Amino acid sequence: MHSSTPIKPALLLTPRQAAEALAISQRKLWSMTAGGEIPAIRIGRSVRYSVDGLRSWIDDQRGGDRA
């Protein structure tokens, strides 16, 4: 019998997971990543998105309308 290990939330999301979380297409996510508009992390040839980085980016987008 295996001990019950709590499942930890992912720190990094795949492009598919990040696009789903942001409710945008993967194509739009790639475009934003290539343009440096959205924070991404490269690990070798893989691209991942930090949950905290995405949350900060979202907060920055909300604050863009403030004077």
Domain interval for residue 42: 12-63
In a domain, 3, yes or no: no
pLDDT digits (tens, 9 = 90+) for 20-36: 999 999 999 999 999 99
Give the predicted TM-score (pTM) of the model. Answer: 0.78
Number of structural domains in the chain:
1
Report yes or no on 33 lying in a domain: yes
In a domain, 56, yes or no: yes
Paired with 42 in beta bridges are 47
Whether residue 50 lies inside any domain: the answer is yes
d(CA 63, CA 58): 9
Token pair in block for residue 48: 């991942």
- Position 2 in a domain: no
Q: Looking at 1-67, list the stretches that DSSP marks H as alpha helix, in order from N- to C-terminal side.
A: 15-22, 26-34, 51-63
* Cα 64 from chain centre: 19
- The reply to whether 43 falls in a domain is yes
How would residue 7 be classed by pLDDT, with cut points 50, 70 and 90? confident
Residue 48 per-residue DSSP state: E
